[in-house]
Amino acid sequence: MTDITFNGRVFPCADGDTVLEALTKGGAPVASSCRSGVCQTCLLRAVAGPLPEAAQKGLKDTLRSRGYFLACQCQPTAPLHIEGPGADAAPLSATVCAITPLNRDIVAVELRCTDLPLYRAGQFINVFRDPQTSRSYSLASTPGLDPHLTLHVRKFDQGRVSSWIHEDWRLGDTVTISGPVGECFYLPSNPDQPLLLLATGSGLAPLYGILRDALRHGHRGPIYLYHGSRHEDGLYLGNELRGLARAHKAVHYHRCVSQGDVRADLRLGRVLDVALADHAEVKGWRAFLCGHPDMVKQARKRLYLAGVALKDIYADAFVRAPA
Amino acid sequence: MTEALFQKIGGEPAVNIAVDIFYRKVLADDRVNGFFEDVDMEKQAAKQKAFLTMAFGGPNHYTGADLRRGHSHLVKRGLNDTHFDIIVQHLSDTLRELKVKPEYIAEVGALCETTRNDILCR
Ligand SMILES: Cc1cc2nc3c(=O)[nH]c(=O)nc-3n(C[C@H](O)[C@H](O)[C@H](O)COP(=O)(O)OP(=O)(O)OC[C@H]3O[C@@H](n4cnc5c(N)ncnc54)[C@H](O)[C@@H]3O)c2cc1C
Ligand code: HEM
């Protein structure tokens, strides 16, 4: 048991509880979404007291050095004085400027942001339905190529945020988003390294941005993109991706379905299995894994065991927010 | 004293390289990988870094009691001396691959040995 002082009030924190849990139990709820250390919605700042290492994992050095931490990952072992995040995490306003269906349940949403934040293709933003309810959506746009931020949003029935986006958003609406977050992006440091991009469903969004970003930076090594879904109608952007593969010899695009018939342009199997069947030797490659948490988890492990270095595995698991 | 060993092996950069090789060996070894089955790989990699830093005599804040607490659920699942030896073997193999001098590898082995009773909760 230890104490947390938040905005001048003292909250008891039971052993094993996170700061997020302690503040919520004490009647001072903090906005949060994924509660697994990914979305950075619950960012707070420590002004005094030691922070466990896990509480700052994945944060930029600039935030880390100023005491920022994730409330959902912080199990304090000694008294902690904390404050709200202030300007660094202040939400931004954006205008909905295009909504385009990509397939039966995914739409592309373009957002115009007057202070377009600096971002890297593959990062994500959080979309706020209200100050307590937000969800993460990856950026499919590429800085320097696209004028706006683009999201690919898959509709979930009864989804608090995704259904709202699909049903209620209209062109010209002003919406509230966070700045760009996340570490899943392309770095131009090793332009000859083969890249393996595995996506399921709307996990294509960040990889579409990363693929075009790598090409824009003059990546020379081969780029293998595997996009998977249960059925063919879950795939999308096929024409654009085939076009990229035709225009760039280095780009190889594979459409995978886990059920249905095999056809010339369609591979049968899950993305990871298909990719590993094609490539026995992946040592020294860089991998980007986005979409279903199970795919990301398995791919991380099998690619690592196959010889991909931990530092060369970039991933965003689209984890669900708890009810 | 052990700080010096940590520096001789190459400090934190060496740990970062070693963890990649070491953890791959562990996960590929059916005799011990069951203990690592359910843990999240990213978090696990961070913990293995903590383990290697400690085994190399680097700065860490683990006490014997921490090590007991951290492995007691594994002891309940059957963790024993054989598993301990296998892990230490993977560690020395890793260091050999990285061309660390045999006398330093022996020092790492000796350092691991001092934790045996805590790891196995005896
Ligand atoms: C880093 C990150 C990036 C993401 N990027 C994208 C993206 O680019 N595009 C995108 O569409 N989504 C993305 N997501 C997922 C997104 O944040 C939401 O989880 C998703 O839109 C569901 O939220 P909701 O509010 O609509 O549903 P909720 O209200 O949270 O859930 C409503 C119902 O839908 C079910 N449900 C929710 N998620 C799933 C799921 N994955 N599978 C099956 N059932 C589910 C729930 O069980 C519940 O019954 C990302 C998530 C993370 C963490
Ligand atoms: C050589 C002596 C060993 C030392 C010094 C050691 C040290 C450590 C350390 C420091 C941690 C991180 C604890 C934490 O921060 O939570 C850890 C975790 C772990 N160790 Fe060891 N370890 C040793 C042997 C073993 C052996 C023999 C096994 C099993 C075969 C093992 C399996 C694990 C597992 C599975 C975890 C993660 C526990 C979890 O997250 O649930 N360790 N170890």
Q: Interface pTM (ipTM) of the complex? A: 0.76
- Regarding the beta carbon of A162 and ligand 1, being less than 6 Å apart is answered yes
* Confidence tier at B2 by pLDDT (50, 70, 90): low
Do A225 and A256 have their domain in common? Answer: yes
Residue B1 has pLDDT above 80, yes or no: no
Average pLDDT over residues B70-78: 94
The answer to whether the CB of B28 is under 6 A from ligand 2 is no
Task: Give Cα B17 distance to the centre of its chain.
Answer: 14
- Residue A122 contacts residue A209 (beta carbons within 8 Å): yes
Tally of structural domains, chain A: 3
Give strand pairing partners of A229. A257
Contact B65, B58 (CB under 8 A): no
Closest atom of ligand 2 relative to the B91 alpha carbon: 1
CATH class of B10-119: mainly alpha
Q: Is A174 helix (H, G, I), strand (E, B) or coil?
A: strand
Per-residue pLDDT tens digits for B76-116 = 999 999 999 999 999 999 999 999 999 999 999 999 999 99
Question: Where on the phi/psi map is residue A132: left (φ > 0), alpha (ψ -120 to 50), or beta?
Answer: alpha
Say how many C-beta atoms besides its own lie within 10 A of residue A50's C-beta.
11
Which domain range does residue A16 map to?
A: 2-83
Q: How many CA atoms lie within 13 A of A307 on its CB side?
A: 8
A273 membership: H or E segment, kind and range? helix A271-278
How far apart CA A56 and CA A75 sit, in angstroms, is 11
| Shared domain check, A307 and A206 | yes
The number of the ligand nearest the C-alpha atom of A38 reads: 1
* Alpha carbon distance B110, A238 (integer Å): 58
φ, ψ for residue A35, nearest 5 deg? 50, 30
pTM of the model: 0.86
Which of B23, B76, B119, B122 has the most ligand 2 atoms within 8 A of CB, as the residue to mutate?
B119
Domain assignment of residue A320, yes or no:
no
Does the residue A23 lie in any domain? yes
CB pairs under 8 A between A and B: 24
Q: With an 8 Å Cβ cutoff, are B28 and A297 in contact?
A: no
Asked whether the beta carbons of residue A304 and residue B28 sit closer than 8 angstroms, the reply is: no
Mean pLDDT of B40-58: 84
Region of residue A58 (phi > 0: left; psi between -120 and 50: alpha; otherwise: beta): left
Taking the C-alpha atoms of residue A122 and residue A183, their distance in angstroms, rounded to an integer, is 8
Closest CA to A104 of A157, A149, A146, A140: A157
Closest CA to A227 of A257, A183, A190: A257
Q: Of A34, A67, A83, which residue is a domain's last? A: A83
Give the pLDDT of residue B118: 94
Amino acid identity at B73: H
DSSP letters spanning B75-99: HHTT--HHHHHHHHHHHHHHHHHTT
A266-305: burial string, b at 16+ Cβ within 10 Å, e else: ebebbbbbbbbeeeeebeebbbbbbbbeebbbbbbbebbe
Last residue in a domain, options A115, A147, A178: A178
What CATH number did the domain enclosing A299 receive? 3.40.50.80
| Pairing outcome for strands A43-48 and A68-70 | antiparallel
* A193, A284 contact by CB (below 8 A): yes
Residue of B nearest to A303 (CA): B24
Residue B17 pLDDT > 80: yes
Phi, psi of B15 (to 5 degrees): -60, -45
Ligand positioned closest to the Cα atom of B71: 2
Contact present, A306 and A287 (Cβ < 8 Å): no
Q: Which residue has the higher pLDDT, A318 or B57?
A: A318
Could you say which of B20, B27, B28 has the minimum Cβ distance to residue A309?
Answer: B20
- pLDDT, greater one: A206 or B66: A206
Classify residue A187: in a domain, yes or no: no
Specify the amino acid at residue A266: L
Handedness of CA A259, A235, A251, A280 (dihedral sign): negative
Interface test with A, best of B42, B43, B44, B60 (most A CBs within 10 A): B42
* A78 and A96 co-located in one domain: no
* Domain residue extents for chain B: 10-119
Final residue before a domain boundary, out of A34, A65, A83 = A83
How far is the C-alpha of A36 from the C-alpha of A56, rounded, in Å?
12
C-alpha distances (whole Å) from A315 to each of A38, A81, A124, A284, A297 are 11, 33, 12, 17, 9
Is position A295 within any domain? yes
pLDDT in tens, chain A (323 residues): 899 999 889 999 999 999 999 999 999 888 899 998 888 989 999 988 899 888 998 887 778 888 899 999 999 989 999 988 766 677 899 999 999 999 999 999 999 998 777 899 999 999 999 988 999 999 999 999 999 999 999 999 999 999 999 999 999 999 999 989 888 999 998 999 999 999 999 999 999 999 999 999 999 999 999 999 999 999 999 999 999 999 999 999 999 999 887 777 899 999 999 999 999 999 999 999 999 999 999 999 999 999 999 889 999 999 998 87
A321 within some domain? no
Residue A192 pLDDT: 97
HSE-CB of B14 using CA atoms within 13 angstroms: 22
